[in-house]
Amino acid sequence: MKSKSSITEAIALIDANNFYASCEQSINPHLRNKPVVILSNNDGCIIARSPEARALRIKMGIPYFKVKKKLNSLGVAVLSSNYSLYGDMSKRLMNLLKDYSEEIEIYSIDEAFVSILRPKDKNLNPWARKVRCLIYQNLGITLTIGIAENKVRAKIANKLAKNIDSSAGIFDLVRIHDETNYLRKISVGKVWGVGKQTSNWLQSKGIKNVNELRDMDENEIIKKLGIIGKRLQLELRGEKCLPIETSKKPKKEIQVSRSFGKPITKLEDLTQALAIYAIKASEKMRNQNLKSSTITIFTRTSHYSNHAYQKSAYKKLINATDNTSTILKIVVELSKEIYTPGYKLSKAGVLMQDLTNCKYLQKSIINNEFQEDSKKTIRLMKTIDSLNKRYNNEVITWAIAKKQQVWAMNRNSLSSGSTTDIKKIPNIIK
Amino acid sequence: MHSSDLTFKKVKIPLLSDSVSAGFPSPADDYTEENIDLNEHLISNPFSTFFLRVKGDSMINSGIKDKDLIIVDKSLTAKPGNIIIAMIDGEFTIKRLSIRNNELYLKAENHNYPDFSFRNHVDIQIWGVVIYSIHSYL
C-alpha cells in the first residue's frame, strides 16, 4: 500500500473574459480597446460587453432598441452575434487547454474545469500564469483562473480572481492562510448550484455568505435539500464529491427556436418557420445518432406585447425517427393547432424529446402509423447531410425552406471577420 | 461546429507515384499511395493558426502580393527576420521584423512605404508570425 500521497489533484475553473467581445476584438484590430457590445439572435438584447463597454455602464440583457441612441452617441461598436466565430474560437481554446491539464471538462462555450496535479503544497500560480499567457498569445483572449480542491470551490476561487484586483486573474483558494475573510465576501446566491429559491431559503435562515453556508448545521441543509445539499456543503468544506466529466452527457432534448425579424401573423409563415427549424433539428439528431419519439412545437408573442398569446402542441410516435420528411409532415400538421389568427407572433420553436441513441433503439411490434425508416430513406438523409456539410449550407433542402422568408432573422451588424469562411477572412491593409 | 470549419477541413489530393496515361485504364491506378493534405503539411499548430488576406503591395519585394492568402501562426514567438502581422493604430499590417542599431523595427518591403519603429509608436503589437503566403496565378 502506498502511504498518503504527496501529490494531490487540484481543480481549476478556467473561463474566458467577455468571450464574445474578446473573439471579435481578437481578429478585428479596429475593435481593440474600444467599447464593443454583442447583440443576441435577431439583434434583440445586449448579451456581451467588452470591459470598455462595461466601464460606460452599459447593462447586460437590455433590449437594443432602448439603448440604440445612447450607444451611438457614446461611439460603441455594436455587433450581431457571430456564433460560427465564437464556436471556432471556443474549440481552439479547449484544445489548447488540453495540453496543459490532466483532464478537461468543457462546461460551456467559454468555461472549462481542468484537473492538474499538485506536488505537496506546490504553488500553481506559475502554471496558471503560463496558461493565461499562452491563450492570450494564441487567441488574444484573456482568462480568469480559479484553483481549489474541487469544482464548487474552484468556481468560488474564480469569482475571487475576478473580484480581487491584485489577483491578476488568478486565485488559488488552497494556498490562502485564512479563507474566512474571502468566503465572507461572497453571497450564498453566487454559489454554483444554489438557485434563487435555495438562496431565499438560506437568507431566511440568516445564512448570507459562503462562510456561513459552509459552517451551517448539516442536518438542516440535508432536510431541506437532500443529498444535493449535503454534497454542496462537503465540497465547500474541501472534500471532492463531483468528478470531472470528460465525456459529453447524452442530450435530453434538441431544440431549435428563433425570434422572427418581423412578427408573423399568417399560418403560412409560421408553418414555414417551424418547417425550417424542424429540418435543422432533424439534421442535429442525425449528427448525434439520436432519434426522437416526441415532437413538440410552440409559438408565442413578444414579451412586450399587450395582446399576449402562447401555445404549444406535441405528437408522440411509436417509432422514434430522425427522418426529416416524417418530422416535417408532423410539424406542418401540428402548426395548424398552435395557430390562432389575430396575434403578432414573435417566436417559434421545435423540440425533439424522448431521444434515444440509434444503437439501443427498440423496435415496436405494433406499427400502425409511421413506418420505420427504410434503408432507402436512411441513405437519402445521409447523402443530403454530407452534401450540405461539404458545400457549406443548405445546397439541398426541402422546397418549403427555400420560399421567400418574410420573417427572417435580423443580423444587421454581423462582423465581417471570420475564422471559418475564406470569403470573410480579415484583410491586412498594406 | 461542423466540417465547414476551414482550418481543419481535409482537402485530399491523390498523390500518384507514376505518370498517368490517357485513353486506357491507367497502370498507375495501382500505385496510388496516399492523399496530400495541405493542412497537414502547412499547419503544425491548427488551434493557433489563422488565415488573412493581403490588401496592398507594401511587401511586394518579399514576394507577397495584393490578394494573397496568408497563413499566420500565433503560437510562434516572432524573431528578427520573420515576416509578421502587427496591429498598428487599430489596423492589421504585414511587415518584416528587423533590427537596426540594436533596435527592433517593422520594415516594409517596398520603398514607397514607411518603416515603423517600436519607439515612435505606442500602439503597436505583434499579432502573429506569417508561415506561408499563397498566391493565385489565375
What's the CATH code of the domain at A5?
3.30.70.270
Assess whether A17 and A156 both reside in one domain.
yes
Q: Give A90-143 pLDDT, tens digit per residue.
A: 999 999 999 999 999 999 999 999 999 988 878 899 999 999 999 999 999 999
B75 shares contact with chain A (CB less than 8 Å): yes
Mean pLDDT of A11-15: 97
Assess whether A207 and A270 both reside in one domain.
no
Q: Give B27-38 pLDDT, tens digit per residue.
A: 666 665 667 888
Least confident of A58-62, A290-294, A358-362, B9-13: B9-13
Give the pLDDT score at A54. Answer: 93
- CA A131 centroid distance within chain: 23
Q: Give B83-105 pLDDT, tens digit per residue.
A: 999 998 888 999 999 999 888 99
Q: Which amino acid is at B128?
A: G
Task: For residue A420, give Cα distances in angstroms to A80, A417, B86, B112.
Answer: 17, 9, 21, 34
B52: chain A residues, CB-CB within 8 Å: 425-428
- Number of CB pairs, chain A paired with chain B, less than 8 A apart: 92
Alpha-carbon torsion, ordered A40, A45, A49, A55, to 10 deg: 180
Q: What is the DSSP track for A190-251?
A: GSTT--HHHHHHHHHTT--BHHHHHHS-HHHHHHHHHHHHHHHHHHHTT---SPP--SPPPP
Confidence of residue A311 (pLDDT cuts 50, 70, 90): very high
* First-to-final CA distance of chain B: 32
Chain B residue nearest residue A426, CA to CA: B52
Least confident of A151-155, A411-415, B39-43, B51-55: A411-415
Please list, in sequence order, all residues whose beta carbon lies within 8 angstroms of the beta carbon of residue A172, skipping any fewer than 6 positions away: A123, A124, A125, A128, A147, A148, A157
Task: For residue A63, give Cα distances in angstroms to A44, A46, A76, A304, A343.
Answer: 6, 6, 15, 11, 22
Assess whether A355 and A390 both reside in one domain.
yes
CA distance A104 to B18: 46
- CB-nearest to B55 from A32, A393, A428 is A428
Name the β-bridge partners of A151. none
A104: chain B residues, CB-CB within 8 Å: none
Instruction: Specify whether the CB–CB gap between A189 and A163 falls below 8 A.
Output: no
Pick from A176, A205, A231: which residue ends a domain?
Answer: A176
- CB-nearest to B92 from A91, A96, A429 is A429
Asked whether residue A273 is domain-assigned, the answer is yes
Chain A residue nearest residue B51, CA to CA: A425
What's the CATH code of the domain at A318?
3.30.1490.100
pLDDT at A164 over 50: yes
Please judge whether A29 and B90 are an interchain contact, meaning their C-beta atoms are less than 8 angstroms apart: yes
Assess whether A226 and A160 both reside in one domain.
no
Assess whether A263 and A383 both reside in one domain.
yes
The predicted complex's ipTM stands at: 0.75
Please list, in sequence order, all residues whose beta carbon lies within 8 angstroms of the beta carbon of residue A4, skipping any fewer than 6 positions away: none
A134: chain B residues, CB-CB within 8 Å: 75
Asked whether residue A181 is domain-assigned, the answer is no
CA distance A25 to chain B (A): 10
Asked whether residue A422 is domain-assigned, the answer is no
Q: What is the DSSP track for A19-43?
A: HHHHHHHHH-GGGTTS-EEEE-GGG
B70 shares contact with chain A (CB less than 8 Å): yes
Mean pLDDT of A240-249: 81
CA distance A427 to chain B (A): 5
Confidence of residue A149 (pLDDT cuts 50, 70, 90): very high
Asked whether residue A205 is domain-assigned, the answer is yes
Asked whether residue A30 is domain-assigned, the answer is yes
CA distance A366 to A66: 56
Assess whether A122 and A152 both reside in one domain.
yes
Please judge whether A430 and B55 are an interchain contact, meaning their C-beta atoms are less than 8 angstroms apart: yes
Assess whether A136 and A1 both reside in one domain.
yes
Owner of C-alpha cell 420505420: A372
Q: Would you state the cell numbers that stand for residue B17, as one nine-digit string?
A: 507515384
Assess whether A241 and A194 both reside in one domain.
yes
With 0-12 / 13-18 / 19 or more C-beta atoms within 10 angstroms meaning exposed / middle / buried, residue A324 is buried
What is the residue range of A327's domain? 254-359+368-401
Which helix (H) or strand (E) covers residue A278, if one does? Answer: helix A267-287
With 0-12 / 13-18 / 19 or more C-beta atoms within 10 angstroms meaning exposed / middle / buried, residue A382 is exposed
Assess whether A212 and A146 both reside in one domain.
no
Assess whether A141 and A10 both reside in one domain.
yes
Assess whether A22 and A169 both reside in one domain.
yes
> How many independent structural domains does chain A possess?
3
Chain B residue nearest residue A392, CA to CA: B4
Q: State pTM to two decimals.
A: 0.76
Please list, in sequence order, all residues whose beta carbon lies within 8 angstroms of the beta carbon of residue A362, skipping any fewer than 6 positions away: A356
Give the pLDDT score at B4. Answer: 36
B136 shares contact with chain A (CB less than 8 Å): no
Under the phi-then-psi rule, with left for phi > 0, alpha for psi from -120 to 50, and beta for the rest, what region is A6?
alpha
CA distance A82 to chain B (A): 13
Asked whether residue A91 is domain-assigned, the answer is yes
What's the CATH code of the domain at A203?
1.10.150
- CB-nearest to B5 from A95, A420, A425 is A420
Q: What are phi and psi for residue B32, nearest 5 degrees? A: -60, 120
Asked whether residue A258 is domain-assigned, the answer is yes
Pick from A217, A249, A281: which residue ends a domain?
Answer: A249
- Sign of dihedral through CA atoms A162, B48, B63, B137? negative
- CB-nearest to A137 from B47, B75, B87 is B75
Assess whether A1 and A93 both reside in one domain.
yes
